[in-house]
Amino acid sequence: MIKQFDESSYTWDGVDTLVYKQDGSPFKDVTRQVLFNGAKDIPCQFRYFEVKPGGYSTLERHDHTHMVMIFRGHGQVLLDDKVTDIKVGDFIEIPSRMVHQFRANKGDYVGFLCLVNLDRDKVQVLQPDEIEAMKAKNDVVKAFLESC
Amino acid sequence: MIKQFDESSYTWDGVDTLVYKQDGSPFKDVTRQVLFNGAKDIPCQFRYFEVKPGGYSTLERHDHTHMVMIFRGHGQVLLDDKVTDIKVGDFIEIPSRMVHQFRANKGDYVGFLCLVNLDRDKVQVLQPDEIEAMKAKNDVVKAFLESC
């Protein structure tokens, strides 16, 4: 029932670490560990994502809700037209259809816990014209997107 | 969308801290903060419970599942007939009907994140004869229960 955490490696006993491929897909240096894969009365998956220093998650939107808590390090999150610094403990609810992306600071990891429904729609990656429209929102978003 | 965490007080921006009454009920020095109260596709509540040094949660069972992650400090958890040391990051799934109790070390807090379904049965507190039956399971459980 207990999956012990190893603080030296940010891994959990008996949990596989999935390393994303670095093949030109729109994320960089991200790993995923599935800590919980649902119970009869909790139809949700709880995952730990880790972004290496300077890395970032996919710029995406989808119908399903994300419930996120930062668990390691420092970085920024883009939510629609705002960029906010994030640190351990910060709690983020990302509603349906909101564009979002996580980025680790250059010298630091950012790791986050993320809860989703087991039954969810596929992630939609933003297209080039949508990214240009995002950049046009304000200079902070533009600088964020150009750094990824 | 973001509830910022204050690491000096273990509180979140805009989240109330509920202090349990110390009126002889079977828990000691426990607070609760509700970080997430469900979304259309996530029918769950996500809470942060904090047990002060030397305090403990209720010795309880219920039909609903708990998904727990330790977020602060050190202590022990009783799960059925086993007592296990717990520290930040440890992940615990408590299945339906399993008797459980959390205890903080004498010199340390224990804080944990706990996910449950929004629609769940009431907690059942163990009765004196059930507690005696628990103590008879083994010396470790007996010592744990007699320290609370």
Nearest CA distance, B92 vs chain A (angstrom) = 5
Instruction: Please write the tens of the pLDDT for every residue from A22-76.
Output: 555 577 889 999 999 999 999 999 999 999 998 999 999 999 999 999 999 999 9
Nearest CA distance, B21 vs chain A (angstrom) = 26
Residue A23 confidence (pLDDT): 52
Q: Would the CA dihedral through A40, A44, A45, A49 be positive or negative? A: negative
Residue A144 host element (H or E): helix A139-147
* Active-site position among B77, B104, B113, B114: B114
Q: Name the residue among A5, A42, A91 with its Cβ closest to that of B12.
A: A91
CB-CB contact of A96 with A37 (8 Å): no
**CB atoms A116 and B42 under 8 Å:** yes
Instruction: Please write the tens of the pLDDT for every residue from A67-102.
Output: 999 999 999 999 999 999 999 999 999 999 999 999
Residue B147 confidence (pLDDT): 86
Q: Chain B contacts of A96, Cβ < 8 Å?
A: 40-41
Residue B11 confidence (pLDDT): 98
Q: At which residue do the structure tokens 């949700």 appear?
A: A44
Active site residues of A: 114
Q: Does B88 touch chain A (CB under 8 A)?
A: yes
Residue A61 confidence (pLDDT): 95
**CB atoms B41 and A64 under 8 Å:** yes
Q: Which of A3, A64, A91 to mutate to test the interface with B (most CBs of B within 10 A)?
A: A91
Residue B22 confidence (pLDDT): 52
Angle at A41 between CA B13 and CA A2, to 5 degrees: 75
The pTM of the whole model exceeds 0.90: yes
Residue A142 host element (H or E): helix A139-147
- Mean of the pLDDT values across residues B64-81? 98
Q: Chain B contacts of A77, Cβ < 8 Å?
A: 2
Domains of chain B (ranges; CATH) run 5-147 (2.60.120.10)
**CB atoms B2 and A94 under 8 Å:** no
Instruction: Please write the tens of the pLDDT for every residue from B24-70.
Output: 557 788 999 999 999 999 999 999 999 999 899 999 999 999 999 99
State the complex-level ipTM: 0.94
- Mean of the pLDDT values across residues A15-19? 92
Helix (H, G, I), strand (E, B), or coil: what is residue A106? coil
Instruction: Please write the tens of the pLDDT for every residue from B100-145.
Output: 999 999 899 999 999 999 999 999 999 999 999 999 999 999 999 9
Is B20 a residue whose pLDDT tops 80? no
